Amino acid sequence: MKILGRLMVVFSLVLVVGIAAVLVVMKLSPEKRDYLITRTAFEIYLHRDRSELEKESKSGESGVYYFTSYYLHGILSAVEATGSERLLKKSLHYMDNMVGTAVPLQHKGLRYTVWKPFKVTPKSPVPKPDVHYTLQAAVPLARAAAIIKKNPAFREKYALQAQRYTEFVQSAVFDYWWEGEYHKKVPWLNVDYVPIWNDNGTNMGLCAIFMYEATGDEKYAAIAKEVGYAFQAKLTQVDRAWIWESNTIPIGSDTDNTPGSVGNQAGVPDTSHTNRESMLMVFLYEAGLMYSVPDIQRMGYTFVDNIWNQSAEEPSFANYINGSDKPYRVYKQPGLNGPVYHGWVLVGGYSPEAQQVAFDMLKAIIRGRKNPSLTRNATGYGGMLGLTGHLLRNFSTLRHQPSAKAA
């Protein structure tokens, strides 16, 4: 009977707290209510994903860290939104693990610090790190260092960690690849060599943006702007939206050698891979290097006019940035190649329409709505942590962007 009595007390307390929480939420403004829902969801997914993050961060493999970056960017966005030292420390713990797994590499008489694995390719019999994986995996390290540099309280306590991250990114990305292998060039910007926009260039640009913010070295600003201007040259306005590489991509190309892959079937960039370009535009603007709020808002129109299916209750996102749902690689169902959580969502900081669409996606997932696009966003690497973290950042950005609110 005593146990039953205690259970009744606990149940009553939970019920009272639940009712009180509902009453509080009902009294909040819609914006504060949506923020509270997002913040609560973020904490739940951060707790859920902690074991996966711990395991991935100790792998020592750039191919794993490529995907770990999606989780880390979500946490870092939440740090920027909230100023939470607790969240910063969590992200630094995982990044300390990642940098701790790096290994020395002697190459052409110079010593570098890099991640495994080393690969032999048809172009080089000498084992080298994987540039594609390294570039994307390094971005959150440089971003964390930039966040620390910009926050006086963080800078006082975590300057040594920021320095550790910038030294690693300098060695693994800029000393080894940009200077050593590419002779101070971003090779993917050479249209004679790479005629179609390549996301390796985007990721090197993102690394450079954050290295510039973290170190103040104008070399990185120059690299970032070189990438930004090259991307700008690709942009064309169609109606309210940006489009790029329209009908320039050969049908059936970009197969990635996965069994069953049909490659690109629309002749335009696919939605999943273009998350990086949305990030590039946002962060170049915020670093004061180039682009404007109207530029980002136009990217927001690409998201809400072309990619989104116009449904708030069951949102879906097209496989390609022109709205086509033709198959891409092995993603053959409509919307299955529409993960937007790790980059496209960030335009919501300057586009209230895009922010509402992204928040509607969160609500639909929480309510258990199902379609290929929602499933991909909910179950992708770092999907819910990235979505909720970036939404939190957008709430904060919109509050300080009167021009965005009026758009």
**What is the rounded CA–CA span in Å between residue 9 and residue 287?**
54
**What is the rounded CA–CA span in Å between residue 325 and residue 396?**
33
**What is the rounded CA–CA span in Å between residue 151 and residue 391?**
21
Q: Can you give the pLDDT at residue 174?
A: 98
**Backbone phi and psi for residue 189, each to the nearest 5 degrees, phi listed first:** -90, -10
CB atoms within 10 A of CB 277: 25
- Quick: pLDDT tens for 208-252: 999 999 999 999 999 999 999 999 999 999 999 999 999 999 999
Which residues lie below 8 Å from residue 405, measured CB to CB, with a gap of 6+? 352, 398
Q: Can you give the pLDDT at residue 26?
A: 59
Q: Can you give the pLDDT at residue 407?
A: 47
Q: How confident is the model at residue 10 (pLDDT cuts 50, 70, 90)?
A: very low
- Whole-Å CA distances, 67 to 53, 137, 183, 333, 335: 10, 8, 28, 23, 21
Q: Can you give the pLDDT at residue 266?
A: 98
Q: How confident is the model at residue 402 (pLDDT cuts 50, 70, 90)?
A: low
Question: What is the share, in percent, of the chain residues with pLDDT greater than 90?
Answer: 88
Q: Can you give the pLDDT at residue 120?
A: 83
| Higher pLDDT, residue 406 or 94 | 94
Question: What is the share, in percent, of the chain residues with pLDDT greater than 70?
Answer: 92
**What is the rounded CA–CA span in Å between residue 224 and residue 178?**
12
**What is the rounded CA–CA span in Å between residue 228 and residue 61?**
29
Q: Please state the rounded mean pLDDT for residues 122-127.
A: 80
Say how many Å lie between the first and final Cα of the chain, rounded.
62
Q: Can you give the pLDDT at residue 124?
A: 75
Query: Rounded to two decimals, what is the model's pTM?
Result: 0.92
Q: Look up tokens 């090779």; give the residue.
A: 187
Domain ranges of the chain: 49-230, 234-407
Q: Is the pLDDT assigned to residue 28 strictly greater than 60?
A: yes
Q: Is the pLDDT assigned to residue 64 strictly greater than 90?
A: yes
- Quick: pLDDT tens for 256-273: 989 999 999 999 999 999
Q: Is 18 exposed, middle or buried (0-12, 13-18, 19+ CB in 10 A)?
A: exposed
Three-class DSSP labels, the chain: CHHHHHHHHHHHHHHHHHHHHHHHHHHCCHHHHHHHHHHHHHHHHHHHCHHHHHHHHCCCEHHHHHHHHHHHHHHHHHHHHHCCHHHHHHHHHHHHHHHHCCEEEEECCEEEEECECEEEECCEEEEEECHHHHHHHHHHHHHHHHHHHHCHHHHHHHHHHHHHHHHHHHHHHHHHHHHHHCCCCCHHHCCCCCCCCCHHHHHHHHHHHHHHHHHCCHHHHHHHHHHHHHHHCCEEEECCEEEECCCCCCCCCCCCCCCCCCCECCCCCECCCCHHHHHHHHHHHHCCCCCCHHHHHHHHHHHHHHHECCCCCCCCECCECCCCCCCECCECCCCCCCCCCCCHHHHHHCCHHHHHHHHHHHHHHHCCCCCHHHHHHHHCCCHHHHHHHHHHHHHHHHHCCHHHHCC
Three-class DSSP labels, 291-313: CCHHHHHHHHHHHHHHHECCCCC
- Quick: pLDDT tens for 30-41: 999 999 999 999
Q: Is the pLDDT assigned to residue 8 strictly greater than 90?
A: no
Q: Please state the rounded mean pLDDT for residues 307-334.
A: 98
Q: Can you give the pLDDT at residue 24?
A: 56
Q: Can you give the pLDDT at residue 403?
A: 55
Question: Bridge partners of 113?
Answer: 104
Q: Is the pLDDT assigned to residue 162 strictly greater than 90?
A: yes
